[in-house]
Chain A
Amino acid sequence: MSNSHNGYKRVSGDAVEYEVFARKARVDPLHLVGSVVAPDADLAMAYARATYDEERWCEMAIVRKEDVIRLWSPGES
């Protein structure tokens, strides 16, 4: 059985990293549970839901990692 992926390219150019946030209850803050790499937001949503569905989250959201504005990073505070 062949496994040819020749000719396929990721959908919108270069793949993008998305951070995945979730919370289990309304009173909890959203927290970072991981990340996925995908070429567009649709696929990133599908990947996030498939990868991080081991908990019963009441909310899940994704954001492009490059859109996160960092005030400082580890070692800079």
Chain B
Amino acid sequence: MSVSDLVLSLADNKQMLGLRYAEWATRAPSLEADIAAAAMGLDDLGHSRVLYGCLEPLGADPREQERESDPSKIRNLAYFDEPWTEWSQFVAANAVLDTAFTVVIEACVNGSIEVLRHRLRKMLLEERYHFLHGRSWLRSGIEGAPLLQAWQEALEFFGPPGSELEGLSMGPDDMRARLEQQLETRAPDVTIHWEVWDPLRRRAAEGAMDEHTFGMLRGLEEKKYAPPAAARQAAG
């Protein structure tokens, strides 16, 4: 596992987080929360583009051709596999997972790899408002299940304890402590099966995103809306 692998996973997760945020842009509890969902979605989709752009300067681009046809090659956490049906899932992702990704970005910005130190710095400014949003909603109280899942997957994303990556300022143990500090709470007791943990997708659960979401990412869904003549032209 390399820094490039971590950056690709971060990019894929930011893309999925942005997409899931955007799905709530008309379904949040208030107009302000709708607008915040849309704005945070745009931020995270932008962050994913910056992260994908770092892969070439980092050297080996780990993106495989199979990503075009196989959703299990996309390195997103299981939390983003399906659209969220409850506001509490949004809040848990916003407070815990978005903050966990920011912790990893901090480790990159404060690390020794120049391209990451420079290109990712601006993300930290934008993420401040995601954090305020998530923390405030979290304080209002949400259901336990999504929160527990978000914590579990955040810890899985950080990686097995003791597995440090060269060039980053923090390892998994420091990242966990930083996340706990940010959220002013201890991580819940969760059992992570590191023996089946996938170091590329940074998750222990099998599975992949739903077909509709994968189609959207690949641009395949757009073809359904094209007039028949244009679709034939595009196909031919």
Tell me the A residues contacting B by CB distance below 8 Å. Answer: 1-5, 8-11, 36-40, 42-43, 45-47, 49-51, 53
Task: Name the distance in Å between B210's Cβ and chain A's nearest Cβ.
Answer: 12
Cα separation A9 to B29 with both chains bound (whole Å): 10
Partner of A50, one of B27, B35, B86, B88: B35
With known contacts A2-B85, A43-B132, A8–B29 Cβ distance under 8 A: yes
Report whether A43 and B86 are in contact in the complex, using a CB–CB cutoff of 8 Å. Answer: no
Partner of A43, one of B39, B83, B137: B137
Report whether B140 and A9 are in contact in the complex, using a CB–CB cutoff of 8 Å. Answer: yes
Report whether B132 and A46 are in contact in the complex, using a CB–CB cutoff of 8 Å. Answer: yes
With known contacts A5-B29, A37-B32, A51-B32, A46–B133 Cβ distance under 8 A: yes
Count residues on chain B whose CB falls below 8 Å from chain A CBs: 26
Partner of B87, one of A4, A11, A39: A4
Return chain A residues, CB-CB under 8 Å to B35. 47, 50-51
Cα separation A47 to B40 with both chains bound (whole Å): 10
Cα separation A41 to B111 with both chains bound (whole Å): 33
Return chain B residues, CB-CB under 8 Å to A9. 140-141
Report whether B136 and A53 are in contact in the complex, using a CB–CB cutoff of 8 Å. Answer: no
Partner of A36, one of B32, B83, B137: B32
Return chain B residues, CB-CB under 8 Å to A11. 136-137, 139-140
Query: What is the chain A residue whose CB lies nearest that of B139?
Result: A11
B30: CB under 8 A from chain A? yes
Report whether B39 and A50 are in contact in the complex, using a CB–CB cutoff of 8 Å. Answer: yes
Query: What is the chain B residue whose CB lies nearest that of A2?
Result: B85
Task: Name the distance in Å between A21's Cβ and chain B's nearest Cβ.
Answer: 17
Query: What is the chain B residue whose CB lies nearest that of A50?
Result: B39
Return chain B residues, CB-CB under 8 Å to A38. 32, 136
Partner of B85, one of A1, A10, A37: A1
Per-residue CB contact flags for chain B residues 1-43 toward chain A (1 = under 8 Å, else 0) read: 0000000000000000000000000010110110110111000
Report whether A46 and B140 are in contact in the complex, using a CB–CB cutoff of 8 Å. Answer: no
Q: Which of B32, B133, B139, B141 has the most CB of A within 10 A?
A: B32
